[in-house]
Amino acid sequence: QQQVKQSPQSLIVQKGGISIINCAYENTAFDYFPWYQQFPGKGPALLIAIRPDVSEKKEGRFTISFNKSAKQFSLHIMDSQPGDSATYFCAARTGSARQLTFGSGTQLTVLP
Amino acid sequence: DTAVSQTPKYLVTQMGNDKSIKCEQNLGHDTMYWYKQDSKKFLKIMFSYNNKELIINETVPNRFSPKSPDKAHLNLHINSLELGDSAVYFCASTKQWPRRSHEQYFGPGTRLTVT
């Protein structure tokens, strides 16, 4: 059972464009929602994260929008650059072990 | 300088063999994890250890046995390897308290190929 659904599976954007990746969750016990960026041959690295009591968080060109009532959150990458080409994972945390449940990933390609 | 390190980076072995992957973190974290990333890049947690105690054991075949000799190390031993075990295995770590601290730091991964 996939508790965090992520879309799209792949995304192609022109340089300077906006990249948008969406996630939806089911478990209301999730208390923290991070986004991870993964480059080929590397481990995932935390990009930005949000708590459910906040509707938006911005860090540089990256923004998370969070809709608690709809149980959805999204990542917006403004002014997308070729260096942003990577796989992006949304995730949600729950439990005393801080277990992360990951979405299925989005392969982002930013064309020069 | 590496925060979370794994050895080996690549592991090619035959079906039926037994192999181990080692993980070490120098961040002073108290919780460590093993994740499996399949060929479709789906990441799924396998195990979690807090202060050397197992706290998460997802539905993983008992051929997989984690061992944590101390808070800084979490090793993964796999018996009787099968073709379906081929994947990238990631170690990660975090600090449980204060609870508002959140980031899980991932290692570079170990690509296991079973032939």
State the Cα–Cα distance between residues B99 and A60, nearest whole angstrom: 25
| CB contacts, 8 Å: B104 with chain A | 34, 46, 98, 100
**B65-100 pLDDT tens trace:** 999 999 899 999 999 999 999 999 999 998 876 655
CATH code for position B92 = 2.60.40.10
What chain A residue is nearest to B46 in terms of C-alpha separation?
Answer: A99
- What is the pLDDT, as a whole number, of residue B50? 84
The residue with tokens 């990577």 is A86
CATH code for position A27 = 2.60.40.10
Q: Residue A65, SS3?
A: strand
- Identify whether the C-beta of residue A38 lies closer than 8 Å to the C-beta of residue A87: yes
**Does residue A25 sit at the B interface (CB-CB below 8 Å)?**
no
- Identify whether the C-beta of residue B56 lies closer than 8 Å to the C-beta of residue B110: no
Q: Of the candidates A44, A98, A107, which has its C-beta nearest B106's C-beta? A: A44
Residues B42, A104: C-beta atoms closer than 8 Å: yes
**Does residue A96 sit at the B interface (CB-CB below 8 Å)?**
yes
For residue A58, give its domain range.
4-111
Average pLDDT for chain A = 94
Domain count, chain A: 1
- Identify whether the C-beta of residue B95 lies closer than 8 Å to the C-beta of residue B101: yes
**B1-48 pLDDT tens trace:** 669 999 999 999 999 999 999 999 999 988 899 999 999 999 999 988
**A40-79 pLDDT tens trace:** 999 999 999 999 999 999 999 999 999 999 999 999 999 9
